[in-house]
Amino acid sequence: MTPATPAPAKSYAPYQVSIEEFRRFRRDGFVTIPGLVPPEDIAELRAHTEDLMAGRLPQQDPNTPEKERLPVPPAHLSPLEKAQHVARIHMLHRILPLHERYLLHPRVLDVLETLIGPDILALQTMLFLKPPGSDGQGWHQDTYYIPTHPDTLCGAWIAIDDVDEFNGAMWMAQGSQVEPVYPPKGPDIGTYGDRHLPGVPGVGGVSDTDDSRNDLSPVANRYSQVLVPAKPGDVVFFGGHVLHRSKRNVTTDRFRRSFVSHYCNARSFTQWGAGWEENDAQHSKYNPETLQSNGSHILARGDTHLPYAKPRFGTPCAALMDPLVRRQSHRFIPAAMGNLASGDMETKPAVPEAKP
């Protein structure tokens, strides 16, 4: 494993979620924050996709160790064919410093701190290129793939290009975050999904673009299906239960590039995500008894009583803070109790010996 090296810290103006944005997330299951990621960052992400498609990244050198080598599009392919060759790549934050930096982007974490925080565990990254002619993805719920307990999963979808109905913008089933997570069909799946709810049906064809084969399509049809256009730098936050999809990029000359990450509250237990790099002990930690994999994921903000990983490339985040300093700088919530004599609310430290 390459040793962690300190990443240069970049200063960002903190973002404060408005009451209306908070309401929209709770009401609709998603919210778009316009221009959250600055233009210079989007230009960096866009240039990165160009280098990736052209095979110019150091990790695409044939001398790179196989476990960390990225795919190289064959030289004889056209630019469009090269893009299709690397249309979607997962978990590059464990190989590339740039992906780690955008997984831990301070402005994205500012929003998450309000929506699912204050304690944030960074789980996953995905880079989508979606070149012209690419298929979309059918109706699905992200918690179907990444369960957390308590259930706090949230995605953050950073638009790199202008996104609309022609080049494959996301569609949301507005308000469907109230639905359970429908489990897969089959008796041997165990308790995956909200199988404990009486009468919840198992589903098949999840993510299939053919609605006749996707059992979540009738569920999505109960709700208004809303197109989510975006401009470069806009970030769409969406909860793990909300049904969403994308459609085919029908353009001939427009990409729909996006950088997508998933997070949960750092107090949530997960068994997802260990073993992506079997030779990387830092990011393959799990408890052999519970199969808990929290130790494979990065503590981005706040604090936790559960295991966590540090960023491989030294991107500033809560995981790199001294544990004592982190806990002392963390939020201390006072205990509130009614005064029986006056009827007023009074507060006192919930943990008297704690020193904020």
Half-sphere exposure of 351 (CA within 13 A, CB side): 9
- The stretches in the chain having pLDDT less than 50 are 1-4, 278-279, 281
Confidence (pLDDT) at 338? 73
Task: Assess if residue 333 is contained within a domain.
Answer: no
The residue type found at 148 is T
Alpha-carbon distance values, 150 to 121, 176, 242 (Å): 13, 19, 16
Residue keyed to tokens 């304690």: 119
Task: Establish if 13 belongs to a structural domain.
Answer: no
Domain CATH number, residue 251: 2.60.120.620
Give residue 169's identity as a one-letter amino acid code.
A
Asked if residue 155 is part of any domain, the answer here is yes
pLDDT of residue 352: 58
pLDDT at 10: 86
Run of H or E including 228: strand 225-228
The answer to whether residue 11 is domain-embedded is no
Residues facing residue 122 across a β-bridge? 263, 298
Question: What pLDDT is stored for residue 67 in this prediction?
Answer: 80
User: For residues 263 and 119, what is the distance between their CA atoms, to the nearest angstrom?
Assistant: 10
81 lies in some domain? yes
- Give the separation between CA 307 and CA 292, rounded to whole angstroms: 9
Burial of 70 (0-12, 13-18, 19+ CB in 10 A): middle
Check residue 246 and give its pLDDT: 98
pTM of the full structure: 0.91
Give residues with Cβ within 8 angstroms of 1, minimum separation 6: 279, 280, 281, 282, 312
Asked if the structure places residue 212 within a domain, the reply is: yes
C-alpha to C-alpha distance for 315 and 257, rounded to whole angstroms: 23
For the chain, the domain total comes to 1
- β-strand pairing of 335-338 with 225-228: unpaired
Is 140 domain-assigned?
Answer: yes
Distance between CA atoms of 10 and 106, rounded to whole angstroms?
Answer: 9
Q: Give the pLDDT of residue 179.
A: 98
9 in any annotated domain? no
Specify burial of residue 310 (Cβ count, 10 A radius: 0-12, 13-18, 19+).
middle
Confidence (pLDDT) at 1: 41
Q: Where in the sequence is the domain holding 157, given as residue range(s)? A: 19-321
Query: Cα-flanking dihedrals φ and ψ of residue 217, to 5°?
Result: -60, -45
